[in-house]
Amino acid sequence: LKLPIQRINDYQLLLKELIKYTARLHEDYTDLQRALDFMQAIPQRASDLQYINAIEGYHGNIHNWGRVIKHTSESEIVDTGDDDATLKILQKDSSGQDVPITLRAKDIEQKKEWARELQASRVASEVVEEMQLDDTSERQQEKSSYSRTTSLSESTAVPVSPDPASASMPRAEIFEASKEATSAATHSIRSGSVTSIDASKKDATGKPQFRKALRGLTCSQNDNTFLECEVSSPEKPTVQWLKDNIPLKKTSRVQLSEEDGKYKLYINDASSEDSGMYTIIASNSEGTTSCSAPLYVKPALSVAKPDSRPTSPGGTILPHAPVFKVKLKDTELLEGTSVRFELVVRGCPEPEVTFYKNGKKLVEDDRVRVVFESKEVFELIIDHISFEDMGKYTCVAVNSEGKDESSGTITVTSSVIKKAPEAPTITASLSDVEVNEGASAMLELKVKGYPKPKVTWKHEGKVIEAGGRYRFLFEDEESMTLVIKNTKKTDAGIYSVVAENESGTANTECRLTVNSTPTFKKELKDVSVMTDDVLKLDVEVQGTPAPDVKWYKDGQAVVEDDRIKITQPAEDAHQLIIKQAKVEDSGNYSCVISNTMGTQTGFSAVSVNAPPKFLQKLKDYEASETENVTFRVKISGNPKPNVSWKKDGKPLKPDGHRYQTLEETENVHCLIIDDVHQEDAAQYTVEISNEYGVETDSAALTITCKPKFKKPLSDVECCEGETNIKITVEVEGTPAPKVKWSLNDSIICEDNSFKFESVEESGKYTLIIKEAKSDMTGEMVCEAANVKGKDKCSGTFTVKSKPKIVKGLDDVNVEVGESATFSVKVVNAKDSKVKWLKDDCAVIIDNKNIYAKEEADASFTLVIKSVTPEDAGKYTFKIKNELGEDSSTGRLSTQKKPEFKKKLQDQEISEEDVAEFTVIVTGEPKPNIKWLHGKREIKENDVYQITSDGDTYTLKVKQPNKELAGEYTCEAQNTCGKESCSASLTIHSKPEIIEGLKDIEGEVGDAAFFTVKIAGSPTPTVVWKKTTKKSQWKPRLKKFLKESPTKWNSMN
């Protein structure tokens, strides 16, 4: 097969598809079924051969035989009694038949000893299903193969089949790689044994908690899948998704959603690039929580392997050392993430499993624990991982047959770490491939890069999608193979691959050659040609390599000369051309095409003959009525041509009286017509034919007569502006008459208004009026004349007119409350109906607010009194009569000056508050709003914030101080006018001494003045006090003076 042994699984899948579709077509698929049986038997045959080689010539102790013999209820050790040295084991095979194994000992004592040892070494039937393959090449090529499932949590265990060739894997997720299969924090598929991470723990703080943690998933390539979890938090958390500790970007394929604490990560059209460890980080003001789970995307053609464990002939699985089918691997995790690693170990007898961290036995607690899901599946769970958890973890499985171990290093990081980007590199380029038609072609390459490059395959520039005859195989993360099944000629050409990621691109290409046997796309045909004609034999061929083409005549190779040429006008076209063919060129010709795949021959019988030919042709004949007419021809041809006559294309049968045919000489033939009349005028045709050809010749017989109208003029009515009006008459007469047209006694000439058409053979004459005008109404006359005489006819031509608007509606722009008037002027308005429309709906004329009137000069007016904004819109005037209609449109626009529906209100605030002024303003058109502080226009900044919502406008004054107090004005202005309103802003502030008291000296009895300057809003209350060391002293405060609002005096 020249393929790794696991490719047998791929062939099994392809054969199953062929059988399925063949059965749908109701075709025989017996051979396909035999091929599938053969493929399925290959692994079992290898296992049987290994078993036979193991026991052939065995010289060990008999108790070891017990390990290769199945001791269950289906096996029985029988002492026949016929022979004291013979021991027989009866064992049921898969079909229920007894399969005897006979052991012959030296004596009866040895026989009894063997029976005891066999019984003691009995092997249980509940052994695990699979063993690793020992074959070295398979170890190098084997890759992980997964059963098809969307979510591990929805899978259940599958019973073990006793048939190794068709056994199903006992788990929903199957890891079969003997060397590289690893476990990256997958979760148990058994339900009910382990609670969700973080779901059973209550955090005393208010940081987010996972009610439902992420669960690992396995899906197939091109499937749609999603990861989900549930988060509880006192406040809405901030969520971030990571893949392999790198922030995950949202794309058209990768979508995020959140609803009631449920967070989902959707991945559409999954590919191998999506495989990895996914982490969700939930954060709020109290803290951060995270959890992780893996996603594995199976390759498109991934197929589960058959059971590879060694078994006895009866199907019993033999004892074997433990084997890790799903292993630990190096993993980098974020601090605080909760994670679980799933491992699968299989051995017989059931192994004992122990975990170690950095060489020491792992100590379990509430946060770090090992959960055994079954005798094969168990999980290492670490909640809220920390830096103390970093180290090398080892799992050791031991039984009586040996041991196996799996290790992986856990690295904890406090931040998201990005791997250094690496541009794509093609490590193994495509190579040219050559296959035979119908076989399968495989194009292989290897490419690496980070992030994992997107690989696009193209055939002659057209992108290749998986499906149908195209399959993609993935040996490992870097290897990729395009398999083209049942190759066709059209599959040949250039195949290119482009690998690209954010860091760059790489490409490679190769040529696929599809070899095929030569065939004729266009085969040779028998040919008959006339003498002196060109004889051409042509074929179109196909095949790879391009076939050689050779020509033969009567078994002899054709030799080229001046008259005979062999050409190739196209890559697949070949011709044999013989100019001026002769009778001796007749014969049997053959074309032989051949290449390395085979030969094919085409044949052609060629005849060169003499066709019929006119040596003297017919001549046109013109006669008067009652004359005799003779048509005569001279012909040649071999064999002698048959002669027949036709009149106007219909066979002419001689009656022996007026119509007669005769052969005057050997090659001269005549048609005689006696006493001709007008109905004899026609086209006469003679046809000569033999088996090699047909020739015809014609002549006209004309019977002269004066013109006569078969179809005269009739009255015509049309509308003004109507174009291409055709008026047709039919006239008979020989020779063909000349026709003249006149209107109101004026000759009509061909110009920009009129055009003539005529068909003399049928006697039809047409006058085309390019555009009807009102001044064309009158009497139309047509006159026909030839050498024999003339005739004429007449009719009335009437042009009708439709109403026409000569002055249309104008746009009207008025202020609300005023009147609006629309006017139009029309011609040809008589007997017309008038309609007024507003926005394509009929205007309701109540003759109060809206009325319409018609003036004597065909003017029409619509008046709208006291216009409101609702009256604005598009107005249309329509006028119509039986000949047509016309319309005009104008637009009514309304205006209204600004009006304050809500005005500014005075406000009093403290310095810590925010002042907010609000107005409601209407106007048409919408007014422009301007805010003023005093006379200074306000611009939006850190102090002022200006907003609007519909007709509501707001000014906010932030961080107020005494400089911001005062009058505030809002001005609204549009094209109709301007309005404004104002209000004052009072800012209250606490009392403040701006200028304090000063010490003074004075004479006893004099007046003493103490002055203080203060600030504050509203005006503070002032209290004066005098203090002294003598407690019995009483103040002699006489008077307070207030000079100004901020300056106070005291006189003592």
* DSSP annotation string for 855-899: -TTSEEEEEE-S--GGG-EEEEEEEEETTEEEEEEEEEEEEEEEE
Q: Are 496 and 511 in contact (CB under 8 A)?
A: no
**CA separation for the pair 69, 64 (Å, rounded):** 9
Separation of alpha carbons 39 and 13, rounded Å: 10
Average pLDDT over every residue of 805-812? 89
Looking at residue 419, its pLDDT comes to 62
Q: What is the mean pLDDT of the chain?
A: 80
Angle (CA) 164 167 171, round 5°? 130
Structure confidence by residue, pLDDT tens digits, 273-331: 888 888 888 889 888 888 888 887 876 644 444 555 666 555 667 788 899 888 888 88
Instruction: Choose the weakest-confidence range: 31-35, 158-162, 693-697, 848-852.
Output: 158-162
Tell whether the model's pLDDT for residue 809 goes beyond 50: yes
Q: What pLDDT is attached to residue 875?
A: 92
| CA distance to 330, 634, 665, 677, 702, per residue, from 645 (Å) | 101, 14, 18, 19, 17
Statement: residue 332 has pLDDT above 60: yes
Determine the Cα angle at 991 with ends 986 and 993, to 5°. 130
User: Rg (Cα) of the chain, in Å, rounded?
Assistant: 55
pLDDT 10s digits, 146-178: 333 333 333 222 223 333 333 333 333 322 333
Give yes or no for a contact between 705 and 737, defined as CB atoms under 8 angstroms apart.
Answer: no
Q: In 451-563, at which residue ranges do the beta strands (DSSP E only) sit?
A: 454-459, 462-463, 470-473, 479-484, 493-501, 504-522, 527-530, 535-544, 548-553, 556-557
Tokens encoding 88: 């027989």
User: What is the rounded average pLDDT of the residues 744-762?
Assistant: 87
Give mean pLDDT, residues 415-431.
79
Model pTM?
0.29
Q: 478 — phi, psi (to 5°)?
A: -105, -25
Residue with the larger pLDDT of the pair 196 and 4: 4
The whole-number pLDDT of residue 889 equals: 93
CA distance 66 to 121: 5
Predicted confidence at residue 176, as pLDDT, reads 32
Render pLDDT for 110-140 as a digit per residue (tens, 0 to 9): 777 777 766 654 443 333 333 333 333 333 3
Q: In what order do the strands lie in the sheet with 693-703?
A: 621-623, 693-703, 682-690, 642-647, 650-651
In the DSSP assignment, the letter for residue 959 is S
Higher local confidence (pLDDT), 332 or 632: 632
As a whole number of angstroms, the distance between CA 340 and CA 216 comes to 10
The helix or strand, by DSSP H or E, that contains position 44, with its residue range, turns out to be: helix 30-55
The average pLDDT across 927-950 equals 91
pLDDT at 399: 92
Task: Decide if pLDDT at 926 tops 90.
Answer: no
CA–CA separation, 809 and 823 (whole Å): 6
Looking at residue 446, its pLDDT comes to 92
- The least confident of 230-234, 396-400, 1030-1034 is 1030-1034
**CA geometry: angle at 995 spanning 991 and 997, to 5°?**
105
Rounded to whole angstroms, the Cα distance separating 354 from 362 reads 8
**Alpha carbon distance 93, 72 (integer Å):** 12
* Inter-axis angle of helices 7-24 and 30-55, nearest 10: 150
Q: What is the mean pLDDT of residues 253-271?
A: 90
In this predicted model, what pLDDT tens digit does every residue of 536-585 receive, in sequence order? Answer: 999 999 988 889 999 999 989 999 999 999 999 998 999 999 999 886 88
Contact 303, 12 (CB under 8 A): yes
Interval 255-283 mean pLDDT: 88
3-class secondary structure, 110: helix
Res 4: pLDDT:
58
Say which residue the tokens 């003592």 belong to: 1052
The pLDDT of residue 75 is: 57
3-state secondary structure (DSSP) of residue 492: coil
How does residue 649 score in pLDDT terms, banded at 50, 70 and 90? Answer: very high
pLDDT for the residue numbered 152: 30
One-letter identity of residue 18 = L
Give the phi and the psi of residue 314 in degrees, each rounded to 5: -85, -5
In three-state secondary structure terms, 563 is coil
Name the range with the highest mean pLDDT among 45-59, 164-178, 737-751, 842-856.
Answer: 737-751
Judge contact between 498 and 507, C-beta under 8 A.
yes
